[in-house]
Amino acid sequence: MIVVYLLEQRTGVVYRIPCGTFHKVYVGQTSRTLKHRLAEHRRALRSGEAALSAVAEHAIKEDHTIKWDDAEVVNHAPRYWQRCALEAWHIRSEKEKMNRDEVHSQQHTTHSSTSHNHPLDYYGRYPSA
């Protein structure tokens, strides 16, 4: 479909990658194209460098496959903080997730100075539609 192709070629996107073994998804954001970011996730998985990608970490630790071909752009936002807010909203909208930050935000309910906080931790609400 032409619309899907155009979204995948856009920079500044929020994207979703599903697990092929279980009903978990990874939601991320990048200033580059989805194709470029997927290549980085795949490279981390091939090289066994789980620290570089939560998707690779999930696949390695759980011995799961990843549905690379089903990865999709879910939002486009040119500004970093817009993408972060949208990413956080999409992460919290998913029931089962691979994201590392989800563990962090579930364990810490107060604001801290670490760089791993979601924007929703700062703003305390979901972004408006």
Q: In this model, does residue 102 exceed pLDDT 80?
A: no
DSSP bridge pairs for 18: 25
Q: Which domain holds residue 7?
A: 2-123
- Is residue 128 included in any domain, yes or no? no
- How many Cα neighbours within 13 Å face the side chain of 106? 8
Mean of pLDDT values over 55-78: 96
Q: Is residue 118 part of a domain?
A: yes
Is residue 48 scored above 60 in pLDDT?
A: yes
**Res 9: pLDDT:** 83
Please indicate, yes or no, if residue 20 is contained in any of the structural domains.
yes
Per cent of the chain over pLDDT 90 is: 69
Compute CA distances 30 → 24, 34, 57, 109, whole Å.
20, 7, 19, 26
Q: Is residue 129 assigned to a domain?
A: no
3-state secondary structure of 18: strand
Confidence of residue 107 (pLDDT cuts 50, 70, 90): very low
**Has residue 26 been placed in a domain?**
yes
Match 């200033």 to its residue by tokens.
31
pLDDT at site 54:
96
Q: Return d(Cα 61, Cα 12) in angstroms, integer.
A: 29
Bridge partners of 29, per DSSP, are: 14
Domain annotation covers residue 90: yes
Number of domains in the chain: 1
Structure-token pair, residue 25: 């998804």
